[in-house]
Structure 1
């Protein structure tokens, strides 16, 4: 029975993660009477919006068999650049917003170029690039927030539509875009082929490096979007934006059925994984447990998720 249950969840990761999320929501509602009130659900949705964009980006990279640990740093750095353009340069806030999205895509493209041209493992390279982007952030700001962000873009970060935060709707929009790309286009099929076997994909005539560059650029774009929406939300460009957007998206993707080995999974499953982590962290706060436990819980979820993914796939491959 246990083997059949595990087999079903490995072969149908989306159904498994949805079931786990439903169970956690039921338990959370029993543990705290405030969990299902509208105010708390809006908090969860807003938190999911920002980490969700990074999760979408990371899941697409993981389908390729890649990782980018600099996405949080890209988001924070683009937020700082946006703050400088709007406050110190006096550029139109909407133009500054758009320019920062383009800059984020360029940073992602740069990461992809270094990975493809130097043939370096993306994990190692992007750790270094995270230091570069984060260091530039601190050099420019000296650790001081840039305040006075124009109110014109404030709605994008703190506004609501149909009772839910605007960033949440924006995240859903790009989730639909990501799912369409991965599941309904030739480019998406190339992504899965490259993630399954890079050498075989090249032998089939797939321009694997172009596919990788495109996904890295799109990931950088989403990271910059998350950073700029956070700037709009806070009304200031904080140098610390993006610091917590590193391990969570990886864990969420693995929980949602996107293994670190690449070739399978969907961004939708990754978002359900992010929702699971978000609900758990929210319950910790509602129960009055010290916030210092959140970091430990997040780290433990990463270790458990990756370990279970590795163990289950080795087991069923051998079986």
Structure 2
């Protein structure tokens, strides 16, 4: 009997391992059901819109971070890039009087440029991306404070307000924006040669070079795309708040990494999808939301997120060793 149960357990865990989305979707479903019982306000349409809008901002960062993690890289400066680009947008629109939509577009280009710089430094200097991007986060964050003196830039033109606060078909506009770029990221990773190169680089960088893949170009390209998405998240938040807050992006560091790992994208690279990472972000978002609904101090959210990071990475490491041995 024990042997039969063990075989069944192995088959079930093996199926979940071969299709990581089944596991993360199942966990999300369980959490949603539990949350609906814990708070009668959870399934309220207003609360669901709040969850969707929150997911949109962190989701854009998660998409970029998950693609980097598929490469076996990390960029801890994405939050700082998003915040700095938001401040640049505020300066362009308010202080320089530039057209709001042109300013919006220019900030996306600047975000991509920052990501490009990160990628070039990683590939040219052969430095670990984790170490380098910690330093770059300090650079972008420092420039942010130099320009703003820590004071928010108010008076953002109302023309772009719809991008942050508007709704379409009953859902927040930022959520639809996130879905568009999620679809684009999934198409790139799963349906294009560039995506296959990403998985090859993440699985075995030296082998990918031997196959003739221009690995540095692939890595720099993904860094630039992640920077673009970070800038987009920052500008959408500026449109949402109606001001360019220097603190935008401060909380976009650990969450996306945890979301990606929960969604089946290991820190070692070579596997996973941006879609799984978004499901992971949804899990974290629902947990954070239910903490608020239950009246728990919001200060616990940071601790919960950190704990989720540790648990997710530990589980990923243990499960991979288990399946490798069996």
TM exceeding 0.5 = yes
Distance across 2 between alignment mates of 1:6 and 1:61:
26
1:6-155 alignment to 2 at 5 Å?
A: 6-155=13-162
Q: Does 1:220 align with 2:230?
A: no
Query: Structure 1, residues 1-43: CA drift from partner, whole Å, max 9, x if none?
Result: 4333332222211011001101100000011111011000000
**Equivalents in 2 of 1:49, 1:87: separation in Å?**
25
1:302 CA drift (Å): 0.4
Q: Distance in 1 between matches of 2:321 and 2:117?
A: 34
Residue 172 of structure 1: how far off its partner (Å): 0.2
1:283 aligns with 2:290: yes
Q: How many angstroms apart in 1 are the aligned matches of 2:41 and 2:9? A: 35
Name the CA distance, whole Å, in 1 between partners of 2:171 and 2:15. 34
Q: Give how far 1:201 is off.
A: 0.4
What corresponds to 1:188 in structure 2?
195
Candidates 250, 262, 266, aligned match of 2:269: 262
Partner residue of 1:292? 299
Q: What runs of 5+ residues in structure 1 fail to find an aligned partner?
A: none
RMSD: 0.7
Deviation at 1:178, TM superposition (A): 0.2
2: CA distance between counterparts of 1:143 and 1:191? 38
How much does 1:315 deviate? Answer: 1.4
How far, CA to CA, are the matches of 1:150 and 1:35 in structure 2?
33
User: 1:306, 1:4 → 2: CA distance?
Assistant: 23
Aligned to 2:3: none
Once the two structures are TM-superposed, the CA of residue 318 in structure 1 deviates from its matched residue by 1.9
- Large movers: runs of 4+ above 4 Å: none
- For 1:119 and 1:248, the matched residues in 2 are separated by 26
Match of 2:213 in 1: 206
Alpha-carbon separation, structure 2, partners of 1:111 and 1:50: 21
The residue aligned with 1:251 is 258
Question: 3-state DSSP class of the match of 1:54?
Answer: helix
Residue aligning to 1:175: 182
* Matches of 1:4 and 1:230, distance apart in 2: 44
Partner residue, 1:236: 243
Deviation by residue 1:118-155 (Cα, 9 ceiling, x = unmatched): 00000000000000000110111010000000001000
Kindly state the Cα deviation for residue 290 of structure 1 after the two structures are TM-superposed: 1.1
Distance 2:11 2:48 in 1: 35
Shift of 1:316: 1.0
* 1:218 positional shift: 0.2
Partner SS, residue 246 of structure 2: coil
* TM-score, normalization by structure 2: 0.97
Using the alignment, how far apart are the partners of 2:26 and 2:200 within structure 1? 29
2:173 aligned residue (144, 147, 166): 166
- Measure the CA separation in 1 of the matches of 2:307 and 2:31: 17
Which runs of 5 or more structure 2 residues have no equivalent in the other structure? 1-7
* Cα distance between partner residues in 1 of 2:13 and 2:119: 35
Size of the alignment, in residue pairs?
Answer: 319
CA distance in 2, matches of 1:147, 1:43: 23
Shift of 1:188: 0.4
**Could you tell me how far 1:314 is from its partner in structure 2?**
1.2
Secondary structure (helix, strand or coil) at the match of 2:73 reads coil
